[in-house]
Amino acid sequence: MSKVRIAAFSISLDGFGAGPRQDLEHPLGVRGTELHSWFFETEIFRKMHGQSGGSRGIDNDFAAQSLENVGAWILGRNMFGPVRGPWPDDSWRGWWGDTPPYHTPVFVLTHHARAPLEMAGGTTFHFITDGPDTTLRLAKRAAQGKDVHIGGGVSTLRQYLLAGHIDEMHLALSPVLLGKGEQLFSGINLHRLGFTRVRTVAGENATHLLISKI
């Protein structure tokens, strides 16, 4: 059965899923990359970027599992890039170079229309202006029975959580205190939304929390 899930999403010890002031030099916000150091050191991350080496332990296992059975992704506009307002042109093509790591259809939530962007490796970005529900419906159709991965950023995850669309979450708790940024769960009652903790696993550089609907 296909699921709508959040996987390998990193949060700080004080609950932030991104740092403040995202821009071209800080795509994850100031100090945001510190949240993901556990992932950057894994073998699966290096393979995704055409590199060799990397760790093969628990963190790597969870990184690999996050990519299994994914048929489509949903990203927020800020996750795709730092461009704000109407697209000035089609020159911005994402953070990931000519071959993004998704290899599936990717649906980008935006208020400003743009033609689909086909990239190497099987990734096509679709820019959807009809809101989260329509975007999810399109992503499920494109996934063809596989899972839909809600990739971020924080505001996008919050929208889908509050709407009751998320079936399960894998959060990577990084040993970092950001102090400020984007809070993932502020004002959200996960218990009332039907979630329960299923499993906690200590990795080499993060603690992995597996949470699903009751």
Q: 187 is written with which tokens?
A: 């004002």
Residue-level pLDDT at 142: 98
Which residue, chain included where needed, has tokens 């696993």? Answer: 201
Per-residue pLDDT tens listing for the chain (214 residues): 789 999 999 999 999 999 998 888 898 999 999 999 999 999 999 988 888 999 999 999 999 999 999 999 999 999 999 988 999 999 999 999 999 999 999 999 999 999 999 999 999 999 999 999 999 999 999 999 999 999 999 999 999 999 999 999 999 999 999 999 999 999 999 999 999 988 999 999 999 999 999 7
Which residue, chain included where needed, has tokens 């994850």? Answer: 28
Residue-level pLDDT at 51: 87
CATH of domain 4-20+28-81+99-198: 3.40.430.10
Residue-level pLDDT at 134: 98
Residue 128 bridge partners (DSSP): 109
Residue-level pLDDT at 17: 97
Spatial CB neighbours of 60, under 8 Å, sequence gap ≥ 6: 42, 43, 44, 54
Query: Alpha carbon 126 to chain centroid distance?
Result: 16
